[in-house]
Every structure is written in structure tokens, then in C-alpha cells.
């Protein structure tokens, strides 16, 4: 194997949120947990990224940094090559993260008291951001049929049609349910949003992490009318394990929306990235594809291990949602234990593992667990053994 994803790397002593005992204690009340919660990887970054960063350290001048043509070229080529989408450089805005960008977009596109649509169970910072910005959360819950999630278009349109509904924050690929929305689904969503004047904030942070047989469609690539009513949020952070470098790519094709975003961004002086972020991002997009493909194949094998394990345990009653994209597995334990408190107790107190509990993604997630697959297989084996022992 060209890349060693099996190595168990000690990540402690470096302030890394996923594994630092002090942080686990603060968040989960226990220093000694096997960790599968926050969505970053237990793998070293791709060799070309490490090499580029070492070169940047050795060069040694770490002053103010701004994004240049070589950065934009690398980004646009990546989108062109992977998704057949060619954004204009003018649309590009830097933010330190996608969650900050969602907050800035909410501030620029909507007003206090406006309704903002989401699809629960969904990445919980969507709810937090909407609430923090004093907007109103409206959820059009996804329909779950035996672990496979679909959109309730009738309900979605009813909610989008409210005169107070001004934006829709979409996770595509969807965290935590693992759906990659099809072009047909995206068009239907987009037609509803365009008809009712609902701006689409398309969070595509997981869009480079797609299982075989599925295809990511950039929302803005659907056509002019879709492009002009959306913002695309993307980043190299999930894809290449660069979350600690804090660089996200926000594409706002509509001039007026962009001007409003700029006004808010300038108000808070969020303008230039850190010295290392563009170095790493360029190396990732220009030279990281081979590593990414191998890494996704490896993580998908972890997913298959969990699927097979669940089929062989708990009388096959634990349902694993099909993984179309992301590196997050979504497991339905309700047939074993429907009380989320009791489930949490079995998983964390007895099993000593840190997972993302399903209920944090909304009430529809109660009785579910989300497992981060981006780790050596031996850890997944240990996790599933512990779950089988303690979740009864």
C-alpha cells in the first residue's frame, strides 16, 4: 500500500480536540475515551501537503498573507476537474471556516426574525448559527425509510412558501445521513427556493468525499437562475484533514449578495488567511488527488466493516444508512434502545467511546449514533466490539 492508513498515531499533547484527554473530560466528562466524534481524520495529511508545509516553514518569513493567482487557479482547476464546474475568481471569498461563513451569510442575506430552512437531522451548528443570529429555525425533516433518507418536497415547499422564509441552509453531501442529493432532487429544491425567493446556502464541505456510484453536483452548476440565488461553501478542510489551518472557500455568484457579504465581512475584518493555509490548499488541490482516492477507499472499507458487523450482531436490528458521501456512518439503534439517555450511557459510560449522539442533530436523530470513519481500521474493530458488548 502506497499510503499507510493503518498506523495508529498518538494525537495527544497537541491540543487536538478529538483526542486530547483534557478536552474529552471537559466535553464528555471522561478523559479516557476512544474517539469517533468530531469530523477530522486520524491520518497524516498527503505527502505533497507535508512537503509544501515543510518548505514554507524553512523559508521562514511568515508575514501577512493574501490569496494569489496560483491559489485561485488551483481551486478552479480542482472544481473543473472534479465537478465540471468553473466558478469565476470574482465570486470567491475567503473565510476561516464554513460555519463562520454561514453566520456571515445569514447576517448579509436575512434579517432578524426571518425564517431559515434546514433539513433535520442535520449538522447541529446550522441550528446554532440561525439561533445565534436571531433568525428562526424551520426544519423540513428528511423522510427515513429503513435508513434511506429522502426529501419531503410537499413539506419543503409549504415551509419555503412562508413569506418570512428567506434562506435555506443545505448540507450536501448530507451530514449526518450520508446522502448525496441527485441532480433531480437539487433541481426540485432549487425550483421551489427560486419560486419563493429563498436564498440557498449550499454547504458542500463534504463534496470531495463521494462513494463510488454517486456523483456530486455543485448546486450553482444547475443553471443561471440557480447560480444567482445561492452561495457555495466549500473547503479543503474535511477532504484533506486541514481543519486546523482554517481556510474555507465561499463562492457567491450574485453581485448584490456578494456586496452585502463583503460589507459584513469587512465590518468584522475577516480578510486574510494564515500563512500556511493557502500553501497546504494548493498542494492538496494540485497534487493530493491520488492520496484522497486511496483514503476514501480505505474509509469506505471501514464503513463496510460496520455494515457487515451490524448484520451479524443485534439480530440485524441496527440499521446503517447507505453511505453515498462523507466519512460519517449513521446508525439507527432504536430497535435496541429507544431512550437516548440510556443509549448514551451504554456507549459512553460503559463502552467508553465518544460518538456524536444522534439527538444533537435534532429530535429525529434520537436513538441514532454517528461514527467518524476516518481512522485506522483497528480502531473501528475495537469500537464495534465495545458496542456489541455494552449496547444491549
The residue from 45, 74, 99, 198 that contacts ligand PLP (CB under 6 A) is 99
How far are the Cα atoms of 6, 77, 120, 131, 199 from residue 114, in angstroms, in the given order?
48, 37, 18, 11, 12
Per DSSP bridges, beta strands 353-354 and 136-139 are unpaired
- Cα angle 292-190-196, degrees, rounded to a multiple of 5: 145
Give, for 387, the enclosing helix (H) or strand (E): helix 377-390
Looking at the Cβ atoms of 87 and 178, the one nearer to ligand PLP is: 178
Find the binder of ligand PLP among 129, 248, 254, 372 (CB under 6 A).
248
Give the number of residues in contact with ligand PLP, rule: CB under 6 A. Answer: 13
In the complex, least distance from residue 354 CB atom to ligand PLP, rounded to whole angstroms: 15
Among 177, 243, 283, 391, binds ligand PLP (CB under 6 A): 243
Residue 176, preceding bond cis, omega within 30 degrees? yes
Spatial strand order in the sheet of 230-234: 92-95, 248-251, 230-234, 199-203, 165-171, 115-118, 136-139
Whether 317 and 373 have beta carbons less than 8 Å apart is answered as no
Figure out which of the listed residues 83, 237, 241, 265 binds ligand PLP, where binding follows CB under 6 A: 237
Give the integer Cα–Cα distance in Å for 98 and 94.
Answer: 10
Shorter beta-carbon distance to ligand PLP: residue 241 or 248: 248
Rounded to whole angstroms, the Cα distance separating 343 from 368 reads 9
Distance CA 273, CA 100 (A): 14
Q: Which residue from 20, 115, 203, 369 is in contact with ligand PLP, where contact means CB under 6 A?
A: 203
- Comparing CB distances to ligand PLP, the nearer of 144 and 172 is 172
107 binds ligand PLP (CB under 6 A): no
CB of 204 to ligand PLP, least distance (A): 9
State in angstroms the smallest separation of the CB of 173 from ligand PLP. 8
Shortest distance, CB of residue 166 to ligand PLP, whole angstroms?
20
Counting beta carbons within 10 angstroms of the beta carbon of residue 38, is it exposed (0 to 12), middle (13 to 18) or buried (19 or more)?
A: middle
Q: Which residue is nearest to ligand PLP (CB)?
A: 97
**233, β-bridge pairs:** 203, 250
Near ligand PLP by CB under 6 A, which window of 52-60, 91-99, 153-161, 360-368? 91-99
DSSP 80-103: HHHHS----GGGEEEES-HHHHHH
Q: Which is nearer to ligand PLP, 175 or 321 (CB)?
A: 175
Asked whether the beta carbons of 282 and 70 are under 8 A apart, the reply is yes
Among 205, 230, 299, 374, binds ligand PLP (CB under 6 A): 205
Q: How far is the CB of 101 from ligand PLP (least distance, A)?
A: 8
Residues numbered 159-178 forming contacts with ligand PLP, rule: CB under 6 A:
171, 175
Question: Does 281 sit near ligand PLP (CB under 6 A)?
Answer: no
Q: Does 98 bind ligand PLP (CB under 6 A)?
A: yes
- Please select the residue that binds ligand PLP; options are 33, 39, 151, 384, rule is CB under 6 A: 39
- Give contact residues for ligand PLP (rule: CB under 6 A): 39, 97-99, 123, 171, 175, 203, 205, 235, 237, 243, 248
Amino acid at each position: 500500500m502506497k499510503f499507510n492508513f493503518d498506523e495508529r498515531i498518538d494525537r495527544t499533547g497537541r491540543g487536538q480536540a478529538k483526542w486530547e484527554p483534557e478536552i474529552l473530560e471537559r466535553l464528555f466528562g471522561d478523559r479516557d475515551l476512544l474517539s469517533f466524534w468530531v469530523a477530522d481524520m486520524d491520518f497524516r495529511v498527503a505527502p505533497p501537503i507535508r512537503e509544501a508545509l515543510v518548505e514554507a516553514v524553512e523559508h521562514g518569513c511568515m508575514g501577512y498573507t493574501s490569496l494569489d493567482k496560483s491559489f485561485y487557479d488551483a481551486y478552479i482547476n480542482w472544481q473543473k476537474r472534479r465537478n465540471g464546474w468553473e466558478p469565476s475568481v470574482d465570486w470567491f471569498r475567503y473565510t476561516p471556516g464554513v460555519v463562520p461563513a454561514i453566520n456571515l451569510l445569514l447576517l448579509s442575506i436575512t434579517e432578524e426574525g426571518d425564517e431559515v430552512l434546514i433539513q433535520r437531522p442535520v449538522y447541529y451548528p446550522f441550528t446554532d448559527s440561525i439561533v445565534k443570529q436571531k433568525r428562526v429555525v424551520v426544519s423540513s425533516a428528511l423522510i427515513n425509510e429503513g435508513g434511506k433518507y429522502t426529501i419531503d418536497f410537499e413539506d419543503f415547499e409549504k415551509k419555503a412558501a412562508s413569506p418570512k422564509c428567506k434562506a435555506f441552509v443545505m448540507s450536501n453531501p448530507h451530514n449526518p445521513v450520508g446522502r448525496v442529493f441527485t441532480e433531480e432532487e437539487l433541481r426540485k429544491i432549487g425550483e421551489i427556493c427560486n419560486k419563493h425567493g429563498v436564498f440557498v446556502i449550499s454547504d458542500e464541505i463534504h463534496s470531495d468525499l463521494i462513494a463510488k456510484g454517486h456523483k456530486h453536483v455543485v448546486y450553482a452548476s444547475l443553471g443561471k437562475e440557480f447560480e444567482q440565488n445561492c452561495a457555495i461553501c466549500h473547503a479543503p478542510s474535511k477532504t484533506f484533514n486541514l481543519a486546523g489551518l482554517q481556510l474555507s472557500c465561499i463562492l457567491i455568484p450574485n453581485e448584490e449578495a456578494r456586496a452585502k457579504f463583503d460589507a459584513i465581512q469587512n465590518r468584522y475584518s475577516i480578510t486574510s488567511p494564515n500563512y500556511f493555509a493557502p500553501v497546504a490548499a494548493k498542494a492538496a488541490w494540485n497534487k493530493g488527488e491520488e492520496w484522497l482516492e486511496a483514503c476514501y477507499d480505505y474509509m469506505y472499507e471501514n464503513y463496510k466493516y460496520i455494515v457487515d458487523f451490524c448484520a451479524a450482531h443485534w439480530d440485524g436490528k441496527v440499521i446503517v444508512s447507505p453511505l453515498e458521501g462523507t466519512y460519517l456512518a449513521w446508525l439507527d439503534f432504536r430497535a435496541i434502545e429507544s431512550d437516548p439517555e440510556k443509549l448514551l450511557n451504554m456507549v459512553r459510560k460503559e463502552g467508553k467511546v465518544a460518538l456524536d449522539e444522534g439527538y444533537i442533530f435534532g429530535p429525529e436523530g434520537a436513538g441514532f449514533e454517528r461514527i467518524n470513519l476516518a481512522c485506522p481500521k483497528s480502531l473501528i474493530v475495537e469500537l464495534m466490539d465495545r458496542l456489541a458488548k455494552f449496547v444491549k
